[in-house]
Structure 1
């Protein structure tokens, strides 16, 4: 049986938590971060980017999949799950933001998932780790 994978990337932004949160929460801003085409499918139940909002991601030749925001606590936390179209199972993401002493923001981005296909989760984890480390700085301050 496969072991669930975890990817954890920490990035420090010069901008304050409100600015970083608003950039991360806006689905379309994540395209350069993930190297994906992102389409908003629906707004959240109480706000545009809040819980219940759904986006479709298309990365290269891979089939598109959908992510649904499950938590959006302004300026501190965004959580989501893949809800449609992925060979991964139990996929979730958590973006925790905290202010830094110099007025910036530390983002701790954790993603967890598994796969029914042996070895696939490990390969995806390595690609995600490298991709996020390269892509997060593109979410400019």
Structure 2
């Protein structure tokens, strides 16, 4: 997963990993987190939100793009990649869930990508960092 630009956000929830995973894997819940309009495109290969499930995201005036789940390990890990319609190159996302000592959940969320236009990835990275940092707490208690 080598990409020049990285966005990294952590957040601690009071809910257990199963609850956070359920909320995080449900595409329709991600609009407020990502500051985007999110719509389900397709269900996963073997489960609604599992590997192969795809969402469409529309951010402001930009064209919509698709993200597809590539790894879904219940209560511990979600990975995804942009699969259609984005100027981002080599985009991937990784969300790792770890139980905290008090029964809550630590979310460690990393996104990597590049862009063809020099300097553009850094600008997009700052916007994503701010947006996700602001919205991630809206996901679950």
User: Same fold by TM-score, threshold 0.5 exceeded?
Assistant: yes
In 2, the alpha carbon distance for the partners of 1:46 and 1:16 equals 24
In 2, the alpha carbon distance for the partners of 1:113 and 1:23 equals 24
Q: Report how many aligned residue pairs link the two structures.
A: 139
- Which residue matches 1:57? 57
- Which residue matches 2:4? 4
How far apart are residue 140 of structure 1 and its match?
A: 2.7
How far apart are residue 35 of structure 1 and its match?
A: 1.2
The alignment's C-alpha RMSD in Å is 0.8
| 1:41-88 CA distance string (max 9 Å, x none) | 100001000000000000111110000000000000000000000001
Misfit runs of 4+, over 3 Å: none
| 1:5-61 CA distance string (max 9 Å, x none) | 011101000000000000000000000001111110100001000000000000111
Structure 1 length-normalised TM: 0.97
Unaligned segments of structure 1, at least 5 residues? none
Q: Are residue 22 (structure 1) and residue 30 (structure 2) matched?
A: no
How far apart are residue 4 of structure 1 and its match?
A: 1.1
Q: Are residue 101 (structure 1) and residue 113 (structure 2) matched?
A: no
Structure 2 length-normalised TM: 0.97
Q: Is the 8 A contact 2:43 2:49 kept in 1?
A: yes
- Which residue matches 2:47? 47
